[in-house]
Amino acid sequence: MKKIIITGASGFVGSTLTQNLIKNNYEVIAVKRNELQDIEKLTSIIDGSFAIINLAGANIINRWSQSYKELLYNSRIQTTKSLVLAIEKCTIKPQNLISTSAVGIYKNDDRYDEEATNLADDFLGKLCQDWEKEALRAKELGISVSIFRFGIVMGDGGALAKMLTPFKLGLGGTIGDGSQAFSFIHINDLIRAYNFVLENNNEDGIFNLTAPHPTTNYGLTKALGKSLHRPTLIPIPQFVLNLILSEGARVLTDGQSALPHHLLKSGFKFKHPTIENTIESLI
């Protein structure tokens, strides 16, 4: 039985992925926070494993005070540094490291695939770039490294769970004028992408984990309203989100449009390619 190590296993994606991997006959070991700070202990956990899946990181949708921005940064960068250091010390190194990033690495002025080099220079863009650089250091140790740039993950939990209550009450609406891009992925397609890369050792590099048909906040709003049979007439002014989340509001008001060319080129087939069938399947 192949052993897979997961950081961030208790989160929405991590818990769903763990259950799926166990069903697929992998042995899954969740790394605790204190173990990430003990390199010798972490090395003993990783040694002889088949793969590491790095999902650790504080919740990005929050008020970005200076102290919280430091938490966002350190919870990702320091965790990844620890993993690479532990891999270096392993007697039998894992074959694969699949680390996380986000489509927030891209600017919001165009539609981007994984070949893009003109990346965002704001806090989130720089955070993602530094996060990826730390993970890619593991390539120097002779192992395969894949970077999964997440869009908004849609499933029974996570972002969708937070959206549903106002929409069910008929209070849902666009954020601002709704024109900002919204790149998303159904949780089932995301889990399938992990299995796809784990089962195809020759597939590594950068992957946009986004559906092939990105939408806008307006498209998301209309899909939710249609599935819930509720009106979507009340827009949320951007200044309200700015008051609540400060700079963190940009995650919701300043979306990116990303295409999953690497997955598609590798032969991966999406089961939920549009926002309409994604929302319909979940609601």
For residue 145, the number of C-alpha atoms closer than 13 Å in the C-beta half-sphere is 21
- Position 242 pLDDT exceeds 80: no
Nearest Cα residue to 3 out of 89, 94, 138: 94
- 213 token code pair: 């048909």
CA dihedral 58, 63, 67, 70 (to 10 degrees): 40
Q: Dihedral sign, CA of 21, 27, 33, 38?
A: negative
Least confident of 9-23, 44-58, 124-138, 165-179: 165-179
- 30 token code pair: 């969740």
Between CA 95 and CA 198 the distance in angstroms is 10
Cα-based distances in Å from 215 to 147, 219, 273, 280: 23, 6, 11, 15
Between CA 65 and CA 88 the distance in angstroms is 35
Between CA 109 and CA 99 the distance in angstroms is 26
Task: Find all residues with CB under 8 Å of 84, minimum gap 6, and list them.
Answer: 97, 134, 135, 137, 138, 141
Q: Percentage of the chain surpassing pLDDT 90?
A: 76
pLDDT of residue 279: 95
Averaged pLDDT, 72-96:
97
Q: What is the pLDDT of residues 176-232, one digit of tens each?
A: 889 999 999 999 999 999 999 999 877 889 999 999 999 999 999 999 999 999 988
- 190 token code pair: 């995301």
Q: Which residue has the tokens 């709003």?
A: 221
Q: What is the pLDDT of residues 118-169, one digit of tens each?
A: 899 999 999 999 999 999 999 999 999 999 999 999 998 888 887 888 888 8
pLDDT of residue 165: 82
pLDDT, greater one: 233 or 113: 113
Task: Find all residues with CB under 8 Å of 36, minimum gap 6, and list them.
Answer: 7, 42, 56, 78, 79, 82, 83
pLDDT of residue 170: 84
Confirm if 228 and 169 have CB atoms less than 8 A apart. no
Averaged pLDDT, 241-269:
85
pTM of the model: 0.94
Domain ranges of the chain: 3-154+184-210+258-270
Average pLDDT, the chain: 93
Amino acid at 86: A
pLDDT of residue 62: 83
Q: Percentage of the chain surpassing pLDDT 70?
A: 99
Right CATH for 3-154+184-210+258-270 from 3.30.390.50, 3.40.50.300, 1.20.1250.20, 3.40.50.720: 3.40.50.720
- Position 239 pLDDT exceeds 80: no
Task: Find all residues with CB under 8 Å of 244, minimum gap 6, and list them.
Answer: 63
Confirm if 179 and 214 have CB atoms less than 8 A apart. no
